[in-house]
Amino acid sequence: MTDLNDPLEIGGVTLRNRVFLAPMSGVSDLPFRQLAWKAGAGMVVSEMVASAELCTRERGNLLRLRGDGLGTHVVQIAGRETKWMAEAARIAEGEGAHIIDINMGCPAKKVTGGFSGSALMRDLDHALTLIEATIAAVKIPVTLKMRLGWDNDTINAPELASRAEQAGVQMVTVHGRTRCQFYEGKADWRAIRAVKQAVSIPLVANGDVLNRADAAGILEASGADAVMVGRGSYGQPWLPGMIVHGNRNGINQSMIADYAVAHYEAMLAHYGEQTGIRHSRKHLGWYLEKHGIDISTAERISIMTETNPHLVAERLHAALSRPDEHDMKKVA
């Protein structure tokens, strides 16, 4: 059985353990990744960056490339043209990335509509040209994230993974759903095992991992070498680290309040006050939803709509630090 605490070697880069934070658009920005890394995640992956847009060097896209304070800096890129994928990979490497991850799993219509993300699983020959161009452009390891297939009639993740390994990909992550499932139903952990049987490189299993028991379950069902945590980390960026370390890193209400305020203040510093306030609201909502105790509607609204950062931090900390008999260690 895989030991979550064991390091994992990826093309000369050593990942410190085997529980990773997934790339999540609009979520896994630098402040979120920094918190997850400090809490013990073995690897954290940037938000997906569109390759052609990155090549414009627009400030918002360049912000996604920052890896300050991360022991291992992984940048995920997406696209449909070899020219832009190669150039984006070079830019990311130049900005200090240790690993480039290729997105062939995003199910969003705005991504698949442009024949990127999981849409590439409908044309494996074209997908391979993108993989080959990316690998040829950089000296650092390249990894790949995918779904099981486009739909239940085209479960081709094992074939794509095998061909990607032959092209030089150093690790594969599989989300246990098809694109057409989006995030509905339960991820099929057992179906990921066919990918493990098709490759000799490390395999990461992803989908519906919410706690330590889920991590053990997905690893047993899939035979994977590591696990990736996505939506379960909303409002609790420490979750991957807690899954690794169990109750040794238990989180109490006071610590949650400190985390939330630190996260809020880091977002304002990262984006600037006006943009940071706007981007932070979904995160504040998740903290309050998951960890708030006896918060009234009026109190929630006052936190979510306030524009004075000092008042937001003060109210947020007060709302989240109330004593409770509930033991927050159970999330692991």
Active site (catalytic) residues? 106
Confirm if 42 and 244 have CB atoms less than 8 A apart: yes
The rounded distance, in Å, linking the Cα atoms of 170 and 141 is: 6
243 burial class (0-12, 13-18, 19+ CB within 10 angstroms)?
buried
Q: At residue 276, what is the residue type?
A: G
**DSSP code of 121?**
G
User: What are the Cα distances from residue 211, in Å, to 216, 218, 273, 281, 326?
Assistant: 9, 11, 34, 25, 17
Rounded Cα distance, 88 and 94, in Å: 10
To the nearest 10°, the Cα dihedral for 219, 112, 74, 221? 0
Four-residue CA torsion sign, 54, 62, 20, 183:
negative
List 154's β-bridge partners, or say none: none
Residue type at position 67: G
284 Cβ contact partners less than 8 Å away, ≥ 6 residues apart: 260, 264, 303, 304, 312, 316
For residue 155, the Cα-to-chain-centroid distance in whole angstroms is: 23
Rounded distance, CA 128 to CA 31, Å?
Answer: 33
End-to-end, the C-alpha distance of the chain in Å comes to 19
DSSP 3-state of 78: strand
| Other beta carbons within 10 Å of 261 | 18
Query: What tokens appear for 238 in the block?
Result: 């420490």
Do 332 and 211 touch, CB atoms closer than 8 A?
yes
